[in-house]
Amino acid sequence: MMQEAPSPFEELLSRLDLNQIPSLQRILASMDPIAWTLVLLLLGAVALGIVFTINTRHTFLKTDEVEATPEVLLARLKQDPMSLSPVSIINRLGAEATLELLRYGDQITATEWRFKWSSVREELLHLLSQQNAFGPIHALARYYESDSEGEPDSLRVRRTVLIHKLGQRRFLDPAPDGSPAQLRLRRHPAEQIGNLGFYGPTIWLDGREADLGADGPLIEMSEVHFRTVNEAGVHLRIQRTPTVGGGFYLHLLKRRKMWIVADETIEWTL
């Protein structure tokens, strides 16, 4: 009986002497300490590569600040305003969404939120005021509710100052006995009186009228001092209690026909 001719694959194995591969037991028995060390190093490198790949992928999936849409970031900031730095907030959200965040943040009265929001808000207003592009300036003017060019400049300046210091609610906590905060504005006789939206009694005083006593918290605003048609200054006193208060000077500039707070100086504190 004729023996079958070996297949081409069998001939290749025979020529390469691959059909004589030793068994796993023989290989293990012949390994010396150096060989075992090399094998362990190889296995360690493979394991390290797998772990690094998994961790890196998990990190990129978790860190979605770059890939997240402005809507998602805005929703996150409404939960925690400190989840991004103020610079990142403006860069990632843009002026319009930052305006929405400012309006939202001023309406929340929870103590924990106010503690976080105060510093974030202050820095956002400062960063927006340093820009000269129409978008940021217009968003800031709308936040200050001073974007109406048909309104007298003195009223626009006063409302800007009031919102800058108190937020859009324009509210100061009443005294422990319930006495509401009062807003007093000293005016030039020629200045037009208007509504500033303050939450509480508002009294306009001529510059020469004597100072009045106060039964509760007090906000007192000086006359608006116009250095030029595009520059103004206002002194502001906020007296929360007889022993807690402060005096401020706010420097305002008119950019693109809208008033913004360019700088603020603390004159005194109690």
Comparing 96 with 59, which gets the higher pLDDT?
A: 96
What are the distances in angstroms from CA 229 to CA 170, 218, 233?
Answer: 26, 30, 12
Identify the band that residue 253 occupies on the pLDDT scale cut at 50, 70 and 90: very high
166 vs 19 pLDDT, higher one:
166
Of the candidates 120, 76, 79, the residue with the CA atom closest to the CA atom of residue 102: 120
Pairing of β 218-221 and β 202-206: unpaired
Phi/psi for 123 (5° steps) reads -70, -35
Which H or E element spans position 102? Answer: helix 86-107
Residues 126-139 have pLDDT tens digits of 999 999 899 999 99
Determine the average pLDDT of the residues in 34-38.
74
pLDDT value at position 158? 98
Per-residue confidence (pLDDT) for residue 61, from 0 to 100: 45
222-250 pLDDT, tens digit per residue, is 999 999 999 999 999 999 988 899 999 99
* CA contacts within 13 A on the Cβ side of 34: 0
Tokens found for residue 54: 């998994």
Q: b/e for 9-33, b at 16 or more Cβ within 10 A?
A: eeeeeeeeeeeeeeeeeeeeeeeee
Integer Rg of the chain from CA: 35
Strands (E), the chain: 182-187, 202-206, 218-221, 225-228, 231-241, 244-255, 258-269
93 pLDDT exceeds 70? yes
* 213 three-state secondary structure: coil
pLDDT given for residue 14 in this prediction:
64
Q: Do residues 86 and 127 lie in contact, with contact meaning Cβ atoms separated by under 8 Å?
A: yes
Q: What's the pLDDT score for residue 26?
A: 65
Q: What is the pLDDT of residue 242?
A: 86
More confident call, 68 vs 267: 267
Residue 190 — very low, low, confident or very high, per pLDDT cuts 50/70/90? Answer: very high
63/258 Cα distance (integer angstroms): 38
Task: Grade residue 181 by pLDDT with cuts at 50, 70 and 90.
Answer: very high
Mean pLDDT of 194-213: 86
The answer to whether the beta carbons of residues 180 and 118 sit under 8 Å apart is: no
- Give the pLDDT confidence score for residue 46 in this predicted structure: 83
Predicted confidence band of residue 214 (pLDDT cuts 50, 70, 90): confident
- Minimal CA–CA distance to 242: which of 184, 162, 177, 163? 177
DSSP type of residue 260: E
Q: What is the pLDDT of residue 248?
A: 98
Over range 86-90, report the average pLDDT.
Answer: 96
Lowest model confidence (mean pLDDT) among 21-25, 31-35, 180-184: 21-25
